Structure 1
Amino acid sequence: MADTLGRDMRFVPRSSNVISVLLVAASCVTATTLGYDGSMMNALNILPSYTEYFSLNTTTLALNTSALWIGGAVAGIVYGPITDILGRKKALFWAAVLTIISAIIQAAAQNIAMFVVSRILIGFGTGASAVAGPTYLAETMQLKHRAWGLGVFYDCWFVGGLISAGVTYGTAKMDTTWAWRLPSALQGLFSIICIVILPFMPESPRWLVHKGYNDEALDVIALTYANGDRANPAVLVQYQEIVDTLNYEKNTGETLSVKQMFKTPSARKRTILSLSVAVITMLSGNNIISFYLGTMLENAGITDSHTQLEINIILNAWSLCIALFGTVFANRLGRKKLAAISTAALTIFLFMFGGLTAKYGTSANTAGIYGTVATLFLFQGSYSFGLSPITVMYPPEVLNYPIRSNGMGLYTFLVNGVGLLVTFAFPYALDAIGWKTYMINGAWNVLEVLFILFYWVETKDKTLEEIDALFEGEKHSDVVDLEIVLNGKLDASNVLQGIDVPINSNEVPVTSKAVKGA
């Protein structure tokens, strides 16, 4: 197993499309597990067999639910360097192992302390895979599949949510503690799938080049772009871009340190952009729905737990469909426009939900209650359309190699820190001011829209190396942009001029002097 988790590619398929599917399937374990957890905790917070077993009050309800984010925040601090040292595959493997162990402990919990500790450990496991997974996927997927892969990555939140909603709907009929223990144990299922798939996947070519394994990096690019054809022009251009850019970064003194994220104006802007995604995706109001749907529905006038569980299933299915639809538009609209449309729409519907809850939440007006629930679906659909695909698509794109792992670590820390804040605070807010919580959140969302419109940088249709020009004014390689080659706008003989193919893993090619431009 140790060899197959490293550079060994004996079991890697020779089909680029199959590799793309496997990369997404294994990397998506983070979002699937988190989606499962969110939907599961939603359901458990509705089930008397769970709330009565732990004798939960507002404080312990919030603690049990939000403990996940504590572990995720810790993982964000420590797992960036680990991902750089071990490699992307091994880092993902150990994150999955920890998540499986933690799920078993949660299922066996005998008291609140044991339950909270298990959820902190699950948070660390999913947080670690949130550092390694998007980094791995962004660095290994070919250009035309990158937006699709990273978009589907967090769309899988709703795959996990839908599975969990179905599981908890079934176990709710149990009279024993297995009503919540069984869903808890099944949380480790996605990590098991990840471990099974990992031996059939290649290591990140950018990590391989950085470690000096250039020949193996070229093989990986050939496998992901051209079914193993090392002579394909697109393969050679992408390879040379990576080599040139990493050589430039080493020669200019860029290191894999936390300090590097704040060292230059361009690095600071990259870091701010990645962190803005963490804030926007966590503070737009979606966490209320993700963890306290039951409370929201009660405030809206839906008090029957059976009906609440049914709505949980339908909402996850609806959100998954809309998220996949939005992912299709990630390259057509671009990241910036997609995020702005999504955030503006969800802001409008959050205001509407707050107003309708205030008007009909305590009334017997059936039409008003149904209208409130419909607005909830429109809010979640708006969030799913843009912010779900963007969640881990944009951060690794704007971060260059020296700061990518640590940047995703800081991103994960902030995601979990903000998640902890809102998940712990919202029960008190909903208890104290009810519908006004949504109005305050909506006002904040207006600021998010303005930030996206005036500060974000568009990254669509560019390789990770070509994005450098957006921040630093130039690309650090002389080769033609990959999009030109993929679109057949340049003669292959021009593309191949000056590109150096390594003979063995110890040979490091010199900077290319290939023709630039069409």
Structure 2
Amino acid sequence: MLKKTPTGTWMPAWVPESTFMLCMLLLLSSVVQSATGGYDGSMLNGLNILPSYTNYFNLNPATRGLNTASVFIGGFLGPLVTGVIADRLGRRPAIFWGSCLTIVGIILQTASQNIAMFVVARIILGFGGAVTGIAGGVYLSEVFPSRWRAWGVGLLNDFYYVGALIAAGITLGTGQWQSTWAWRAPSLFQGIFSVLCIFTLPFISPESPRWLVHQGLFEEARITVAQTNAHGSMTDPIAVAVFKEIVDTLRWEKEQAQSMSPLEILKSPIARKRLLIGMSPGPFSCIAGNIIASYYFGSELDTAGITDTNDQLKANVVLNVWCLACCLVGTHLAARWGRKPTAMLSQTLLITCLFIIGGLSKLYAADPQGASSSLVYGNVAMMFLFQGFYSVAWTPLLYLYPPEIMNYSIRANGVAFSYFALNAFALVFTFIMPIGLGNIGWKMYMINASWDVIILGLIAYYWVETKGKTLEEIDAIFEGEKHSSVPDIEILQRGEKELDIDLVEEQLKPDLRLATGRNAAA
């Protein structure tokens, strides 16, 4: 049963009464960016293997890198405005308009006649993807109840491999076509996720309660909190406590003169600390080593001795199935074990794999003709293990961790800055990786493993744990105190304390009266 819900924006919402069903639909409405991004990476993996694509554009290592990396130019530019858009228009409208831009880029990419057109199309695609990705990550983190947030937001990026698997299957199927549609058809299918998002988003999800409270729309926010935490019951203790935490914390931020300006992320030492820790998953995940397998898996297999085009396309399909399974395991670990331990485990395994891959690739490069089959397949097995270990932590944490670390005033702009940094690194690394593999081969793995050791040390020293806390309760880690008098939500859920609902309602009255007065004056 769907119920119309006020959103405070031009976009309506009809949501189910069941909290569980609502959370499932919330996830469906926001997976567009990760599915599109995963499809893009896997599709380019397949296209870079296809002669019909490389010959059509007459690609060399530099232009191949430009065609592939151009999506990150848009991803580099998108974050410059996305935080402001999401704060001013609302989280859901930002996702909607980002999806529209993504479709425009996909249409132009499919119709490309030369490298210049292909590059421009991918810049637009990357821009739209950045808007939906940033707004989607912030939106889900602010709407999902804390007990399901790890799964809800973590799965957002896990769908990367759903898109990747679909793309791998499509490129395998079209790879035998003797026309440019061998690469144009996979490109066109990339628009499926954005179209699905546009048609479903207005009907299945409410607006962020944090955004609504900040706009002074307290009643609308309270309805949303009740729907996402207590099946619509506005008197449920958990729903009342969550709403009180949001109201108290955002009032405190306004009293501290924290604005929604992009410069707020640099204004105070605490904001800068939140920014540096929160943005770190972007660059860390980008330079961990997966750029090679995400976009240049064919070149990676070449270094291991597997050069047949059809064998490489099949390996691409199997790789994405394996990575999907691993990222689901990683999401479970992040929810049950914690964000920081999961990241440290994954990073340690990545370092081990890279050193082994580098060593095996060196042995193969020394004598390609005399290399044993066990050496070749051992190298491929380590490549698969590496991608799986990467997926355990970095796939879910890339979207889950940044919005948890940022407080409301800097969340949208801080997450945008995180993806700005991610795409800046990705733009450079996707361009230089094919050149590096071509020039120094196995040594690229050794270099990559060495800087991964530094990343592991930074995670161990600087990261903080956010498991089991609401976004407002995380403030105590950075500021030394919680800005609301209600008990922590996890304590209430365990039954260790009871909430005095009448007292909380009395404490909320001044805020509700003030908001009512502002709305009447407006």
Q: State the TM-score, normalized to the length of structure 1.
A: 0.95
Return 5+ residue gaps in structure 2 as ranges: 1-5, 518-522
SS at match of 1:329: helix
Counterparts of 1:317 and 1:465, CA distance in 2? 36
Label 1:490 to 1:102 Cα distance change in 2 as closer, same or farther (>3 A). same
Q: 1:215 aligns with which of 219, 229, 233?
A: 219
User: Paired residue for 2:413?
Assistant: 406
The residue matched to 2:216 in structure 1 has which SS? Answer: coil
Q: Which residue matches 1:347?
A: 351
* Preserved contact between residue 11 and residue 93 of structure 2 (Cα < 8 Å): no
Q: What secondary structure, in the 3-state scheme, does the structure 2 residue paired with 1:12 have?
A: strand
Contact 1:213 1:505 in 2 (8 A): no
Q: Deviations over 1:135-172 (max 9, x none)?
A: 00000001111000111111111111100000100011
- Read off the aligned partner of 1:301 and give its amino acid letter: G
Residue 467 of structure 2 corresponds to residue 455 of structure 1: no
- 1:156 aligned partner, one-letter code: F
Q: Is it true that 1:467 corresponds to 2:474 in the alignment?
A: yes
Residue 143, structure 1, aligned to residue 146, structure 2: yes
Between the aligned partners of 1:219 and 1:380, the Cα distance in structure 2 is 42
2:376 to 369, 372, 380: 369
**Tell me, what secondary structure is at the counterpart of 1:176?**
coil
Q: Does residue 344 of structure 2 align to residue 337 of structure 1?
A: no
Q: Is the Cα–Cα contact under 8 Å of residues 303 and 364 in structure 2 kept in the other structure? A: no
Counterparts of residues 411-422 of structure 1 (less than 5 Å): 411-422=418-429
Please give the alpha-carbon distance, in whole angstroms, between the structure 1 residues aligned to 2:410 and 2:338.
23
What is the match of residue 172 of structure 1? 175
Please give the alpha-carbon distance, in whole angstroms, between the structure 2 residues aligned to 1:262 and 1:54.
44
Q: Secondary structure at the match of 2:16?
A: coil
Residue correspondence of structure 1 range 86-125 to structure 2 within 5 A? 86-125=89-128
Is 2:485 the partner of 1:478?
A: yes
- Residues 107 and 156 of structure 1, relative CA distance in 2, 3 Å threshold: same
Relative to structure 2, which stretch is displaced further, 358-367 or 273-282?
358-367
1:497 to 491, 503, 512: 503
Q: Which residue of 1 aligns with 2:209?
A: 205
Paired residue type of 1:140:
V
Q: Report what 2:268 is aligned to.
A: 264
Alpha-carbon distance between aligned partners in 1 of 2:136 and 2:262, rounded to the nearest angstrom? 19
Separation of aligned partners in 1, 2:338 and 2:315: 32
Q: CA deviation at 1:487?
A: 1.3
Who is 2:54 aligned against? Answer: 51
Deviates more, 1:75-84 or 1:202-211: 75-84
**AA aligned opposite 1:166:** G
Distance between the aligned counterparts of 1:327 and 1:97, measured in 2? 29
Amino acid paired to 2:384? F
Partner amino acid for 1:277? Answer: P
Partner of 1:215, secondary structure, is helix
Q: Distance in 2 between matches of 1:244 and 1:7?
A: 27
Give the secondary-structure state (helix, strand or coil) at the position aligned to 2:311: helix
Stretch deviating more after TM superposition (291-300 or 496-505): 496-505
Residue 446 of structure 1 aligns with which residue? 453
Equivalent-residue separation in structure 1 for 2:90 and 2:381 (angstroms): 45
Structure 2 equivalent of residue 15 of structure 1: 18
Q: 1: distance between equivalents of 2:289 and 2:193?
A: 27
Q: CA deviation at 1:30?
A: 1.0
Aligned residues: 508
Partner of 2:131: 128
CA drift of 1:495 comes to 5.2
- The alpha-carbon deviation at position 12 of structure 1 amounts to 1.3
Post-superposition shift, 1:441? 0.3
CA change 1:103–1:503 in 2 (3 A) is farther
Secondary structure in 1 matching 2:116 = helix
From 182, 185, 190, the counterpart of 2:188: 185
Bigger shift: residues 245-254 or 359-368: 359-368
Query: Are 1:502 and 1:508, in contact at CA under 8 Å, matched by a contact in 2?
Result: no
Deviations 1:264-321 (CA, angstroms, capped at 9, x unpaired): 1111110001221111110000011000000000011000010000000000000000
Structure 1 residue 196, shift from structure 2 partner: 1.9
Relative to structure 1, is the Cα distance of residues 387 and 301 closer, same or farther in structure 2, using a 3 angstrom cutoff? same
> Quick one: distance in 1 between partners of 2:164 and 2:247?
40
Change (3 A) 1:161 1:496: farther
SS at match of 1:11: strand
Match of 1:516 in 2: none
Distance 2:346 2:302 in 1: 26
Q: Which residue of 2 aligns with 1:287?
A: 291
SS at match of 1:498: helix
SS of 2:159's partner is helix
Residue type of the alignment partner of 1:326 = G
Name the aligned partner's letter for residue 154 of structure 1: N
Distance in 2 (CA, whole Å) between partners of 1:81 and 1:410 is 11
Q: 1:213 to 1:108 in 2, by over 3 A?
A: same
**1-side partners of 2:232 and 2:512: how far apart?**
17
Residue of structure 2 in register with 1:384 after alignment: 391
Shift of 1:498: 2.7
Structure 2: distance between partners of 1:258 and 1:78: 9
Whether the aligned pair in 2 keeps the contact of 1:74 and 1:124 (CA below 8 Å) is: yes
The amino acid that maps onto 2:390 is: Y
2:190 is paired with a residue whose SS is helix
Against the structure 1 CA distance between its residues 52 and 10, is the aligned structure 2 distance closer, same or farther, given a 3 Å change threshold? closer
1:32 to 25, 30, 35: 35
Cα drift, residue 355 of structure 1: 0.6
Is 2:8–2:212's contact at 8 Å kept on the other side of the alignment? no
Pair 330,263 (structure 1): closer, same or farther in 2 beyond 3 Å: same
CA contact (8 A) 2:75 2:130 kept: yes
8 Å Cα contact 2:13-2:205 kept in structure 1: no
> Following the alignment from structure 1 to structure 2, what is the Cα–Cα distance between the partners of residues 267 and 437?
36
Partner of 2:82: 79
After TM superposition, give the deviation of residue 388 of structure 1 in Å: 1.0
What's the counterpart of residue 393 of structure 1? 400
Contact 1:214 1:502 in 2 (8 A): no
Q: Could you tell me how far 1:233 is from its partner in structure 2? A: 0.3
3-state SS in 2 of match to 1:229: coil
Paired with 2:37 and 2:358, the residues of 1 have a C-alpha distance of 26
SS in 2 for 1:475: coil
**Structure 2 Cα separation of the partners of residues 413 and 39 of structure 1:** 22
Q: Does 1:247 align with 2:251?
A: yes
Give the Cα separation in 2 of the matches to 1:8 and 1:232. Answer: 28
* Partners of 1:238 and 1:482 within 8 A in 2: yes
| CA deviation after TM superposition for structure 1 residue 7, in Å | 6.8
What secondary structure sits across from 1:43 in the alignment? helix
% identical aligned pairs: 46
Is the 2:8–2:220 Cα contact (8 Å) retained in structure 1?
no
Give the match for residue 62 of structure 1.
Answer: 65
Q: Could you tell me whether the CA contact under 8 Å between 2:65 and 2:434 is conserved in 1?
A: yes
DSSP-derived class of the 1:499 partner: helix
